[in-house]
Structure 1
Amino acid sequence: MDRLTSMQIFVRAADLGSFAAVADALRISPQMVAKHIAALETRLGARLINRTTRRQNLTDIGRSYYDRCRIVLAEAEAADAIALEMNATPSGIIRVNAPVTFGSYVLSPFITHYLGCYPETQVELTLNDRIVDPIEEGFEVIIRIGELADSSMVAWSLKPYRLIACASPAYVAHYGLPEKPADLQHHACLVYGIWSPSMPCRWIFQQQGKTEEVRPEGRFRSNDWKALLHAAVEGYGVTLGPEDVLRKEINEGRLVQVLPGYEGPARPMHVLVPTGRKQTVKVQCFIDALRKSFAAGS
C-alpha cells in the first residue's frame, strides 16, 4: 500500500475518532481503513491505535507518529504545490486559523468570495482563540489579533480590529444613552469572557487623546461573543464588539451605537505564515487577497 495514503488515513482516523467516520469522509470501506492502519503497524512493528468495540485511542507511539505524519503530509503537499507553480492559477487546500468571532462574522464572507474567484482552491478554516503552532498543527495561514510576540513567523499588518459599544433601540429608550464612559457603571453591560476579581474586564475609550477606562458589570457574561450580541439585540444591555459586525446591526436598525463621540479599543491584527517555508501560489494569492480586503489604514 502507498505509505503516504496510509499516513493520511491514519491521521484522519486519529482526528475523527473512528474508522467508520474516516470511511464516510474518504468514501472507502471501513475494512480498507483498517488495512491501511494495519499496514503501517506491520511496517513499524508497533501498535498505533488501541481499538475496542466502543472507542479507540492512540498509543504513546501512535501519538508521536501522528505528530510526525502531519508534518510529513504538509511537506508532501507543499512539494506538490511547488512543482505546480508554473501554473499561475491557485489550487489546492489552504489551511487557515483565525480567532472565533472575527472568523465567524468577518473572515467567513471573505473566504466564500475568495472561493468564488478561485474555484480550484479549498479552504479549511479552524477557529479558536488560543495561540496555535503552525508547524505542529499544520496551518499555512494564521490571523492573530493583539500584539505579536512570536518572532518565528512572517507577519503582515491588516487593519486594526476596532471595537465599539452598542445597545438596542428598546434598551436606549428605557434606560437612556450614556454621555460618557463612566456612565456605563450605571448600565447593564454584556461582558465578554469569564472574569475574576483579580482579572476584571476593562473597556477603554479615547476622546481627543484622553483615555478613560471602565470596568463593566452586568448580569450576563460569556466567553462566546455571539451570545452577547443576541442579548444586546434583545435589549438586555450594552455590548462591546467588533465594529465590522456591529455596523451591519446598526445600519439595519437592530442596534444603536453607544458613546459615538469616543473611540473604542483598537487592537492590531496581522496575517502570519511560518518562517523559512517557501510560499506556494495558493498561499501567496490568499494572503494578497487578505491584505487587499483588510488593508491597514482602510
Structure 2
Amino acid sequence: MDRLTSMAIFVKTADSGSFAAAALAFGISSQMAGKHVSTLEERVGARLLNRTTRRQSLTEIGQIFYERCKALLADAAAAESVAQELSASPRGRLRITAPVTFGACCLAPLIARYLKAHPEVRVELTLTDRFVDLIDEGYEAAIRLGALSDSSLIARPLMPYRLVACASPGYLAERGEPRTPRELTAHECLSFAYTSMPADTAWRFADAQGEQAVPIAGRFEANDVKALLAAALNGGGVMLAPEVAVKDELAAGRLVRLLTGYEATARPMHLVFPASRVTPKLRAFIDQVVAEFGPHNA
C-alpha cells in the first residue's frame, strides 16, 4: 500500500472518529480504510487507534504519529503545488526594472525574444538608474549594477558591466590621444551624474602593475549616457562608456577606443528577485537572462 495514502486515511480517521467517514472521503470501503491503518500499525509496531464499535480514538503513540503525519502530508502537498506551478505555462504581467543604458541596449532585445517564446506574458520594463525597492514598488525582478547590499533578495551573478574609454577622431586630432590613464588629466572628460550620485571625479583603470584611480575633470556632465555619447561624437571630450552603448560607434570608426593596454574597472552586475515571487513567468525570464548574460558570457 502507498504509505502517504495510508497516512492520509489515518489522519482522516482520527479527525472524523470513524473508518466509515474516512472511507467515504477517499471513496473506499470501511474495511479498506481499516486495512490502511492496520498496515501503518504493523510498520511502526504499535497500536495507533483505540477501536470501539462507535468511535476510533488516538492512542498516546497514535497522537504523536498523527502530528507527524499531518506535517508530512502538508509538506507533500506544498511540494506538489510548487511543482505544478513551475510546470505551468508562463502567463500574466511581469514587472522588471533595470539601469537605463543596459536596459535599452541589451535587456529590451532579450525581452522581445522572451515575449515571442511566451505569448501569454506581458512585460512592463522600467528603466532607471536609481535604486528600486522591489517589494515596496511592486517589481518582480531587477538588474543591479555595483556591489550588492545584504538583503533578503536572491541574486544571480551576470557578466561584468564593462566600461571603455573612447573619443571621436576629431577630438583626438585636436587634443592628441592619451597613452596612459594619467594623461587624462589634460583632457576634457565627460562625466555621468545622477540625482543620488555626484559626477565622477576619478576613473579607475588596471594593468599588469595593478589598479589606479585617475582624477578627471571636464565641463560637461549628464545623467544620461546617450547625452554623453552625443557629446563625444561631436568632439566634446573623452567618455568612459558602457561597452554595450558604444560598440557600434567603435566598429564604425565614429569613436576610437583609448588606453587599450589598460582595463577600466568593470562593475558587478546581478539579477535580483524575491524568492516569494518566483512564478513560471519569472522563472522563464530568469533562465533566459542567465543564459544570455550569465558570467560564462564574460
Report the Cα distance in structure 1 between the residues aligned to 2:213 and 2:224, rounded to whole angstroms.
23
Aligned to 1:201: 201
Amino acid corresponding to residue 282 of structure 2 in structure 1: V
2:127 partner amino acid:
L
Partner of 2:250: 250
Match of 1:262 in 2: 262
Deviations 1:187-245 (A, max 9, x none): 111111169xx985210000114112112111211122211011111111110111122
Question: Quick check: 1:106–1:245 contact (8 Å CA) kept in 2?
Answer: no
SS of match in other structure, 1:232? helix
Where in structure 2 are the equivalents of 1:166-245 lying within 5 Å? 166-193=166-193, 201-245=201-245
Aligned to 1:284: 283
Q: Which amino acid aligns with 1:217?
A: A
2:295 counterpart letter in structure 1 = A
Which stretch shows the higher mean deviation, 112-121 or 205-214? 112-121
Long gaps (5+) in structure 1: 1-80
Matches within 5 A, 1:128-143: 128-143=128-143
Structure 1 stretches of at least 4 aligned residues deviating more than 4 Å after TM superposition: 81-84
Spell out the pairing of 1:135-174 with structure 2 (5 A cutoff): 135-174=135-174
Q: CA deviation at 1:113?
A: 2.2
| Bigger-Rg structure (1/2) | 2
Q: Matched residues in 1 for 2:130 and 2:122: separation?
A: 24
CA change 1:126–1:150 in 2 (3 A) is: farther
Structure 1 position 82, deviation (Å): 7.7
The 2-side partners of 1:200 and 1:291 are apart by: 30
Cα contact 1:93–1:124 (8 A) shared by 2: yes
Alpha-carbon distance between aligned partners in 2 of 1:121 and 1:166, rounded to the nearest angstrom: 39
For the residues of structure 2 that align with 1:103 and 1:90, how far apart are their CA atoms? 22
CA contact (8 A) 1:185 1:215 kept: yes
Tell me how many residue pairs correspond in the alignment: 215
Letter in 1 for 2:286: I
Give the superposed CA RMSD.
Answer: 2.3
Distance 2:283 2:84 in 1: 14
Where in structure 2 are there 5+ consecutive unaligned residues? 1-80
CA contact (8 A) 1:164 1:265 kept: no
2: CA distance between counterparts of 1:167 and 1:128?
Answer: 26
- Post-superposition CA distance 1:146-187 (Å, at most 9, x none): 111132101110001111111112212222211000111111
1:106, 1:168 → 2: CA distance?
A: 24
CA distance in 2, matches of 1:153, 1:194: 25
Q: Distance in 2 between matches of 1:190 and 1:251?
A: 21
Residue in structure 2 matched with residue 5 of structure 1 by the alignment: none
Residue equivalent to 1:53: none
Q: Percent identity?
A: 47
Q: 2: CA distance between counterparts of 1:86 and 1:155?
A: 19
Give the residue type in structure 2 aligned to 1:127: L
- Specify the code of the residue in structure 1 equivalent to 2:293: F
Amino acid at match of 1:288: D
